[in-house]
Chain A
Amino acid sequence: MLAARKPRLAVFKFASCDGCQLSLLDAEGELLAVCERVDVAYFAEASSDLQPGPYDVALVEGSITTEHDAQRILEVRRSARYLITIGACATAGGIQALRNWGRINDWVGWAYPTPQYIDTLATSTPIAAHVHVDFELHGCPVNHHQLVEVLVAVAEGRTPRVPSHSVCLDCKRRGTVCHIVSKALPCLGPITQSGCGAICPAFDRGCYGCYGPSRPAHTEALLKQFTQLGIPRAPLVPLLRNFNAAAPEFQQASNQLAEPVR
């Protein structure tokens, strides 16, 4: 479809840390090769040559936290044939979605002495809650090899090949001893999507779910296993409520855990 010519790429930022688009610049060796396959038409962090749309592909980083951004994403959608979201903020609302559980007026008042200068929504929502998204790349931050695969797939006019199995399987491949089984350490590896390389277990700590829920994510089975191993429930709530707190599977599980035991 797009293979006949170089696709025009645009990169847009909403509420985020910049880390996912930086992943593109971190592709160093592959960066120049990618630039030969796609026409980087709009990428404010990397180039002052900002060309107007329409674009073939829009990469969107960040979540929607202001009324202005809720309008801006509609314009981005209209400007792009394919819209691809990158990272936990864009796909799940990010760490800033913790506000969904708080009272926004209190939260703004705690951070800013003059809250009336601040214009923000009471929620942080993923891009797909506002517009149709063609492909979601997960991770906090995204894996730059996967990001390059997405761009190459776009240039070749095919669906990106990004695995959706769990981190658990990657530990087995790496030969990392299971922390849940051997140390009764809470680890979200069994319900978290692959992509990071299973680095946390390899560095002697439990997975904290920064790639979001795997497909499928058997959260109930994992929580039951944690209970059987005597892992306390309370610390599991903040563990599930971090960078992908508002991803439906994690949100449901943490809400269930936060309820008093009947």
Chain B
Amino acid sequence: MSYSDVIEVPILTRVEGEGGVTIRIEGGSITAVQLRIFEPPRLFESLLRGRPLEDAPDITARICGICPVAYQMSSIHALEAALGVEITPEIRRFRRLLYCGEWIESHGLHMHLLHAPDFFGATSGIELVQRFPKEVQRGLQLKKFGNRLLEALGGRAIHPINVCVGGFHRWPKRDDLLKLIPDFQWGLEAAIAATQWVAGFDFPDFTTPCEFVSLNHADEYPMNAGDIVSTTGLRVPVTEYDTHFVEQHVPHSTALQAVRRVGHTPFLLGPLSRVNLNRDRLCEPARRVADEIGFETLCRNPYKAIIARGLELIHAYHEALSILQSDLPRGPAHIDYQPANGSGCAATEAPRGLLFHHYEINADGKLVTARIIPPTSQNQRQIEHDLHDRLTAQLAEGATREQLAGECERLVRTYDPCISCATHFLRIRWEDTP
């Protein structure tokens, strides 16, 4: 195979935001794969400087329309750490409920409309409807109830308005919560059926040697709190993030890439990492489904992330239902605080993985500095490594250029990259040296 031209193929669709992949082939083998992110920089860290600290959750939500709650949660936890605010168990419980809504909406979308079409050669969820009307409609319904939960608790599904530093502006209305219960009872069963459906897909034979990283909490599936753990034995508090991870700036991307500080090795965040590291903390129905479908204890096949999303979908429906069926919120909806000079950081589990925020604040209640490390920029380097391995194997089997381009797109999609987060239309640029 010898190419002497440079071709740009518009390729990565069904992801959030726009980026590209450059594949460099020299002497018939792939020598470099670069995930290029050319999403225009929006400079959030800079525009936050000097703003009232109360603005951080609403403004950082605008980094991503798919996972605004994740940004709201990481920012409020980091600011509460800086302010020394202790929230009540009640506020904590309802933050988890809100996060369940976002996991449901995001995972429901990715499983059914973005990822599933790849297993059937369909170009979109809309096309997949022709073949699997019941399953896709069920997926849309599952996603819809996640949005209804976000609306009940957060005011709206995209960029909710009820979250504030210290808690919520007000508690949700009793009737708005209670009327969701029948939908969530249906949703738990439907999520199980959806997971069993995706577990039956035909998965490519591929494994990644990566280090999986996620939060881990003593007695709950990680969302808002926990230590950072990994499959190579790392266990550190979130406050030590900078000791173990570092961001690097590469010319082909407006997203900074994070790597391990020692050895500069890549790592992977997201649903597969969370399930691999926290399977025993999944709810009983999710654990049961995982066992029944024979999900590996340490699953290294990124294409199977769709199953991990399914297991988390079950978990989120189960946990949301149990909160909806428990006591209604009592006590103050938010805790008051006094601004003081300080700094704080936090990490929470966005649908796509660990999202780290760090802020410095002053006694006037203003943000002095802000630092935000989204999951996709942390995953970027590992995605490049996996693409290199996968495409090399495909090339050895005699794959054509079109087949390689298609496979490149399919593999990138398994990580559910959120390019808006990391900082637009993915293009593959081939750079060949005969």
Q: A28-B140, A118-B254, A238-B51 are in contact. Are A19 and B40 (CB under 8 A)?
A: no
Q: What 1/0 flags go to B24-60 for Cβ under 8 Å of A? A: 0000000000000001111111110101100100110
Shortest CB-to-CB span from B349 to chain A, Å, is 20
* CB of A180 within 8 Å of the partner chain: no
Which segment of A106-114, A128-136, A164-172, A220-228 sits at the interface? A106-114
**Taking A44-B13, A48-B124, A49-B124 as contacts, is the C-beta distance between A204 and B155 under 8 angstroms?**
no
Residue B14 lies at the interface, judged by CB distance under 8 Å to chain A: yes
Residue of A nearest to B255 (CB): A112
Interface residues of A in 113-150 (CB under 8 A from B): 113-114, 117-118, 120, 124, 140-141
A45 touches B14 (CB 8 A): yes
User: Counting CB contacts under 8 A, is A98 at the interface?
Assistant: yes
Q: Are A96 and B113 in contact (CB under 8 A)?
A: no
Stretch at the interface among A1-9, A29-37, A77-85, A246-254: A29-37
B residues less than 8 Å from A95 (CB atoms): 42, 44, 47, 59, 62
Measured in the bound complex, the distance between the Cα atoms of B20 and A147 in whole Å is 29
A48 to B49, CA, bound (A): 39
Tally of contact residues, B, Cβ under 8 A: 64
* Contact pick for B256, options A25, A112, A141, CB 8 Å: A112
Select which of B65, B123, B129, B247 is within 8 A of A17 by beta carbon.
B65
> Which of B14, B63, B68, B369 is in CB contact (< 8 Å) with A47?
B14
Residues facing A in B140-198 (CB within 8 A) are 140-141, 143-144, 147, 155-159, 161-162, 164, 169-170
Known: A66-B40, A111-B45. A44 touches B170 (CB 8 A): no
- CB 8 Å contact bits of B349-382 with A (1 = contact, 0 = none): 0000000000000000000010000000000000
User: Residue B249 at the A interface, CB < 8 A?
Assistant: yes
Give the residue name and chain of the A residue nearest to B64 (CB).
A17
**Interface residue? B331 (CB, 8 A):** no
User: Using Cβ atoms and an 8 Å threshold, which residues of chain A touch B49?
Assistant: 110
Pair A19/B161 contact, Cβ less than 8 Å: no
Contacts of A17 in B (CB 8 A): 62-65, 68, 420
What A residues does B143 contact at CB under 8 A? 28
What distance in Å separates the Cβ of A2 from its nearest Cβ neighbour in chain B? 21
Q: In the complex the two chains form, is A47's CB within 8 Å of B13's CB? A: yes
Residues of B with C-beta under 8 A to A47: 13-14, 123-124, 126-127
What is the bound-complex CA distance between A22 and B109, given in angstroms?
A: 10
Instruction: For the complex formed, measure the closest distance between the CB of A55 and the CB atoms of chain B, giving whole angstroms.
Output: 15
Shortest Cβ distance from residue A97 to the other chain B in the assembled complex, whole angstroms: 9
- A242 in contact with B249 given A111-B44, A196-B156, A203-B170 (CB within 8 Å): no
Please, which residues of chain A bring their CB within 8 A of the CB of B141? 28
A28 to B401, CA, bound (A): 36
A205 to B161, Cβ gap below 8 A?
Answer: yes
> Can you list 25 A-B pairs, Cβ within 8 angstroms, ordered by A?
A13-B18, A19-B158, A21-B65, A26-B158, A28-B140, A28-B147, A35-B126, A45-B14, A45-B15, A48-B14, A49-B124, A94-B42, A95-B62, A96-B42, A98-B47, A99-B43, A108-B43, A111-B41, A111-B44, A112-B249, A113-B247, A203-B161, A208-B58, A238-B52, A242-B55
